[in-house]
A and B are shown apart, each in its own frame.
Chain A
Amino acid sequence: MRIHYVFNTQYGDFSDTIILEDGVTMTEEEIEAEKQRRFSNWISVIESHSEIADASPDQVEGETQEVLGG
């Protein structure tokens, strides 16, 4: 299954897909946690280079999600 989602930020869109192997499942909570983990990693990579200290939630302007199928 492929779960596509987007976080809109000042740095541009963080557009990503969680791909689950056949036979592997995740709960909604696990999926949300995985999205947040990836997004946080991304923000920290950008900000470590961009020299912007604060990765406040305010910078996250919106999120969309699309399940692409399994």
Chain B
Amino acid sequence: MAFSDYNWTGATNTRWSVNTNWLVSGSVPLSAPTAADSVFFSGTFTVDLIGTNNCLNLTVSSGAVSFITSSANTLNILGSVSVTSGTTWASTASLVFAATSPMTITSNTSVFPALSFIGTSTYTLSGPLSCVSTTLSSGTITLSSTAGLTTGRFTSTGSTSRGIDFGSGGSVTCNASGGTLWATASLTGFSLSGTGRTVNISNPSTTSATVNVGSSGTPTEAQLPDFNITSGNYTLTITASSKLRNLNFTGTYTGNVNNNVLTIYGDLTLNSSMGLNSGANAWTFIPSSGNTRTITSNTKTMDFPVIFAGAGTSQLNDNMTVGSGRITTLTSGTLSLQTFTLTTGFFSSSNSNARTIAFGSSGSITVNASGGNLWDTTTLTGPLTVTGTNPLVSVTSSGVTTPNILTGAPSEANSISFSFFSSSASVTFGTSAYVRNLTVQSTHTGSVASASTALTVYGNLTRATGSGSLLPSSITFASTSATVRTIASGGATSFFPITFNGVGGSWALSDSLTMSSSYSLSLTNGTIDLSGQTLTVGTSFLTTLGTKALTFSGGTLVCPGGASAFNNAQPTFFTTNFGTGTVAGTISMTGASSTFGGGGSTYRCTLNYGSSSGTLTITGANVFDNITNSVTPCSFIFQAFVINQFTDFNINGTSGNLVNISSSISGYTGQLYKATGVVSCDYLSIIDSQPLTGASWYAGANSVNNGNTSLWIFTAPPVPGSNTGSFFMMF
């Protein structure tokens, strides 16, 4: 094929297709230009593109050419285009770029008509290009930071290999007045390269606009551009099932975005002046592995379901609110809260995928639906990893239906704190619940947990004064942390058994803890510090197999029960501690017929009996700081054949109300020992009781000796300094 350079003369008329309007090497050619011929314009002309026309390269080197079209037209260009700034194009003109080798387009600010790229090669913009619309069916459009494409609409369909090379910061701007501004439903064969990869959507009208990105098929993240919704006040529809990388509304856009199912691989940035329409269609965030993608809400509520998935990190850049009737789901990947709060009606992460909630230094989640499973992490395999300083979920609900919290059974390390506030609703858990800290604020007046729930608390338990009751079937404190956990019941009686079972754990009472009479307290592992408060157990205080301790710090353990009121059933590795302060602690037995099953341990406290006319039986060869009675008459029965040791012994009766001291087996003594000094009692009635050599044991002048009481001295002790006592005077 011969290649010719056609020079426009317009000698006959304005039509491109008329051969006599052209000169080739100074002669009129036999035909209009073919696809192998380059065309040149130099001067001021009007050129009508009516019909189908062809050329290789098109050059307007000077002057101002007006390309018009009086009817249907197509100009097929197989080469490059370069026009002057004065070149104009009818908006109805149609340019088809069909190059099979790399070409360039130089517009010099001339606004092009509809462009269609069908060639297999690359078209490089040598500068900014504006056009009515762009259809990319094949080949690659190459942009750069100084050569962006501004097009009313952009369409790319089919499956032929095609794409956009954004170079270093190139961009596409779609600025049609409503309608579909970006249409890439199928991205099969579509590729993106370069940096930036930004598409700006700038609809200048109030007519609704649509963006369709990969709504059919399953494009990869690499095929997806970033979208900036830069300005305008119109309703934006992002076609259902679209996939996007970054979606950015940080410009002056003030319209509403319709609710459709969307997948976002990148960052989402909303602005405070825009609107998000409510709906039931989820937005899913799918950051890829190794990527951290951010969500910036700027106070906008997402009143639709939100799903966090993918293998990367979805990170909040500010507080995020999902509608109170909507669910937020963590399917996989990491949800990073940083210092922000995610507020949502429901939160669910119950699956077998590896996933993480990173609460950061002060991040939190608030669930606030009117009822149902506000929190659901029933299935934790995968696992669900929890990180952060204080993983906190705050719960409030109007309680239209019963709000329910399903924690699953996390380890201590992956446990989460729950705090209930601003609700009169009664909150239930599943059959078992595992929490870090459990807080019931004063503004939550409904009950928390039900009798079907065994509750495990790894951290602090705080029930504010006046708040709702805790009503689980049981509570197990299971901290293994060196950090002391605190327990504040807020003045409520506990209607459930309590177990302390955390190896190495320790708990301190912040206020008194009173258990209803039907329930026992079990100490298996860890240390309870009464911290100056009163702990009142129900049926019994029971030790079980483990390493455990009871620290008084001036507090009182009250055991109102009967035969097992205090039952140190597993004394091995059981210790008691005086604790802090100078005030001695107390174990107060108050049952009418109580047994202190000491188990032979040392008690760094006072053992007091306080049931008038009652009997306290003490078993085991124990060691006490002190023993007292706060009522008379009453009875103490010490186990026969064993020795109980005392630093102080202060059992006394009153006139007419003697206190009985005896042993558990008639005729055999319970033995008492105090190393040095004087024991001074009175108004006792003693039988089968034998102090051992050490201190002098004075029963008092008003006491009664009923036999088998060797080493009890039934007189008052001598007055110090007098010579009337039973002292030997040595000279």
A residues bordering B, Cβ < 8 Å? Answer: 2, 4, 9-21, 24, 34, 37-38, 41-42, 45-46, 48-52
Residues on A with C-beta less than 8 A from B630 are 9-12
If A17-B511, A21-B442 touch, does A49 touch B538 (CB 8 Å cutoff)? yes
| B512 interfacial contact with A, CB 8 Å | yes
Taking the complex as formed, is B608 at the interface, i.e. its CB lies under 8 A from any CB of chain A? yes
Pick from A2, A10, A12, A24: contact of B534, CB under 8 Å: A12
Question: Which are the 7 A-B pairs with shortest beta-carbon distances?
Answer: A12-B588, A16-B512, A49-B560, A49-B517, A17-B511, A38-B491, A11-B590
Q: A19-B464, A49-B562 are in contact. List 13 more A-B contacts (CB 8 A).
A: A9-B630, A11-B560, A15-B556, A17-B511, A21-B464, A24-B464, A34-B491, A41-B514, A42-B534, A45-B538, A50-B560, A50-B611, A52-B611
Q: A10-B631, A49-B538, A52-B611 given as contacts; is B532 within 8 A of A19 (CB)?
A: no
CA distance A48 to B465 in the complex (A): 24
> Which residues does chain A contribute within 8 Å of B534, judged by CB atoms?
12-16, 42
| Contact yes or no, A16 B610, CB < 8 A | no
Q: Is B490 an interface residue (CB 8 A)?
A: yes
Q: Is the interface of B mostly helix, strand, loop or mixed?
A: loop
* Residue from B515, B614, B630, B631 with most neighbouring chain A CB atoms (10 Å): B630
Q: How far apart are the CA atoms of A49 and B592 in the complex, in Å? A: 8
**Inter-chain contact A24/B442, CB cutoff 8 Å:** yes
> Can you name the residue of chain A whose Cβ is closest to the Cβ of B490?
A19
Q: Which of A13, A37, A38, A42 has the most CB of B within 10 A?
A: A13
Judge whether A13 and B556 touch: CB under 8 Å.
yes
* Range, interface on chain B: 35 or more
Q: How far is the CA of A60 from the CA of B312 in the complex (A)?
A: 64
Q: Of all chain A residues, which has the CB nearest B511?
A: A17
CA distance A27 to B330 in the complex (A): 46
A34 and B465 contacting across the interface, CB-CB below 8 Å: yes
Per DSSP, chain A at the interface is mixed
CB of A51 to closest CB in B, whole Å: 5
The answer to whether B510 and A45 touch across the interface, beta carbons within 8 angstroms, is no
Please measure, in the bound complex, the distance between the C-alpha atom of A35 and the C-alpha atom of B272, giving whole angstroms: 49
B618 proximal to A (CB < 8 A): no
Q: Establish whether residues A42 and B608, one from each chain, have CB atoms under 8 Å apart when the complex forms.
A: no
Inter-subunit contact B560/A16 (CB<8 Å): no
Q: Cβ of B555: which chain A residues have Cβ within 8 Å of it?
A: 15
Residues from chain B with Cβ under 8 Å of A19 in the complex: 464-465, 488, 490, 510-511
10 CB contacts below 8 A, A to B, read A4-B532, A10-B610, A14-B534, A18-B465, A34-B465, A42-B514, A45-B493, A45-B514, A45-B536, A49-B517
The residues of B that contact A34 with a CB separation of less than 8 Å are 465, 491
CB-CB contacts below 8 Å: B545-586 with A = 554-556, 558, 560-562, 586
Min CB distance B689 to A, Å, is: 24
Q: Which residue of B lies closest to A48 (CB)?
A: B517
Residues of A within 8 A of B232 (CB): none
User: Closest A-chain residue to B592, C-beta based?
Assistant: A51
| A2 contacts across to B, CB distance below 8 A | 510
B516 within 8 A of A: yes
The listed residue with most A CB atoms (<10 A of its CB), out of B532, B586, B591, is: B532
Bound complex: CA of A38 vs CA of B488, how far in Å?
Answer: 13
Smallest CB gap from B586: residue in A: A12
Once bound together, how far apart are the Cα atoms of A1 and B468, in whole Å?
Answer: 20
Alpha-carbon separation in the docked complex, A66 to B590 (Å): 26
CA distance A36 to B558 in the complex (A): 18
B441 at the interface (CB under 8 A from A): yes
A46, B612: Cα distance in complex, Å: 13
Beta-carbon contact of B560 and A46 below 8 Å: yes
A9 to B511: give the CA distance in the assembly, Å. 18
With contact pairs A15-B532, A17-B510, A19-B510 given, residues A10 and B538 touching in the complex (Cβ less than 8 Å): no
Name B562's closest neighbour in chain A (CB-CB): A49
Kindly state whether residue B328 has any CB partner on chain A within 8 Å. no
Identify B512's interface contact among A14, A20, A48, A52, CB under 8 A.
Answer: A14
Contacts of A52 in B (CB 8 A): 592, 611-612
Q: Which of A14, A24, A48, A49 has the most chain B CB within a 10 Å cutoff?
A: A49
Of listed B464, B488, B590, residue having the most chain A CB within 10 A: B590
Q: Are B532 and A49 in touch, CB under 8 angstroms?
A: no
Given contacts A21-B464, A45-B517, A50-B590, contact A16 B511 (CB under 8 A): yes
Answer yes or no: B533 CB below 8 A from chain A CBs: yes
Residue among A12, A34, A37, A52 with most chain B CB within 10 A: A12
Contacts of B516 in A (CB 8 A): 45
Most buried by A among B465, B514, B612: B465
Q: Return chain B residues, CB-CB under 8 Å to A50.
A: 560, 590-592, 611, 614
Q: How far is the CA of A3 from the CA of B246 in the complex (A)?
A: 54
